[in-house]
Amino acid sequence: MGRLENKVAIVTGGSKGIGEAIAERFVEEGAKVVITARHTEEGEALANKLGENALFIQQDVSKKAEWEKVIKETLDQFGKVNIIVNNAGIGVYADVEQMDDDNWNKTIGINLTGTMWGIKLGIKAMKDNGEKNSIINLSSIEGLIGDPDLFAYNASKGGVRLMTKSAALDCARKGYDIRVNSIHPGYVVTPLVEHLMETDPKVKEHLISLHPMGRLGKPVEIANLALYLASDESSFSTGSEFVADGGYTAQ
């Protein structure tokens, strides 16, 4: 307990799945957490469950103005920002020939542009607070390897991977006490993946077969990695990729 004592975090896409698990772990470890998501009902329910150290704010991460609103309300409520977890994301199966404007623009807007605003405005809010700070970007194994059916998702998550390194180097050279790292999960049992598996039992078998450990990941396993990166325990880690994929990319 207490690994994030006196820290204030913003977790996007925090109402379910990996984001929900991260918000719960952060509060357990002493942080005050602002949960953001597009869907108000789920986010407010989670914030109420987590108690006085959690706050929900509705947000479309692709919009700069909504990022500015979230950071202002966080500062007004809790006085500072120390941690930003850019977790909000979408993924739609489509290869390059199936790609259309809607899929491309939504995927890039949420996954890449949304993360960019979180990094940029997060640095602005953190750089002069005199404390140790951390920005954690949820990329994916799809930011490390290619998938012919995830053209836009590959582009967005690969962009998150290198954008992370660029921001980390910029903060380091300017002497900001802000670390920037990326997490690359394999397939994790979240509502989205569960829906895919329910539609076709063969999908579940296939996804499990991709992971040498013989199972999919659990949201809390990704949350535990985020906890390490959010805490001062990871004080010498920046611009790095942290993979949690059951051996998927080791093959």
User: Which among 55, 226, 86 has a CA at the least distance from the CA of 159?
Assistant: 86
- Quote the pLDDT of residue 200: 76
Handedness of CA 7, 11, 15, 20 (dihedral sign): negative
pLDDT category of residue 199 using cuts at 50, 70 and 90: confident
- Vertex 68 angle, CA 24 and 71, to 5°: 35
pLDDT category of residue 249 using cuts at 50, 70 and 90: very high
Percent of the chain with pLDDT over 90: 92
User: Is 148 a domain residue?
Assistant: yes
The 10s digit of each residue's pLDDT in 201-237 is 788 888 999 999 999 999 999 999 999 999 999 999 9
Domain containing 90 equals: 8-190+218-243
Q: Tokens for 191?
A: 């509502």
63 and 46 in contact (C-beta within 8 Å)?
no
Q: Which residues pair with 8 in a beta bridge?
A: 32
User: Is 96 a domain residue?
Assistant: yes
pLDDT category of residue 63 using cuts at 50, 70 and 90: very high
- Quote the pLDDT of residue 193: 81
Structural domains of the chain, count: 1
The 10s digit of each residue's pLDDT in 138-165 is 999 999 999 999 999 999 999 999 999 9
Burial of residue 52 (CB within 10 Å: 0-12, 13-18, 19+) is exposed
Return the CATH number at 69. Answer: 3.40.50.720
User: Is 208 a domain residue?
Assistant: no
User: Is 109 a domain residue?
Assistant: yes
Task: Check whether 61 has a pLDDT greater than 90.
Answer: yes
User: Is 197 a domain residue?
Assistant: no
Strand pairing class (178-185; 241-244): parallel
Handedness of CA 165, 171, 175, 181 (dihedral sign): negative
Calculate helix-pair angle for 151-173, 114-126, nearest 10 degrees.
20
pLDDT category of residue 6 using cuts at 50, 70 and 90: very high
CB atoms within 10 A of CB 134: 28
- Stated as kind and residue range, the H or E segment containing 36 is strand 32-37
Task: Check whether 192 has a pLDDT greater than 80.
Answer: no
User: Is 248 a domain residue?
Assistant: no
For the annotated catalytic residues, the residue numbers are 153
pLDDT category of residue 60 using cuts at 50, 70 and 90: very high
User: Is 172 a domain residue?
Assistant: yes
User: Which among 74, 24, 28, 77 has a CA at the least distance from the CA of 46?
Assistant: 24
User: Which among 34, 35, 27 has a CA at the least distance from the CA of 5?
Assistant: 27
User: Is 181 a domain residue?
Assistant: yes
- Vertex 23 angle, CA 17 and 29, to 5°: 135
User: Which among 132, 87, 120 has a CA at the least distance from the CA of 230?
Assistant: 132
Task: Check whether 196 has a pLDDT greater than 90.
Answer: no
157 against 194, higher pLDDT: 157
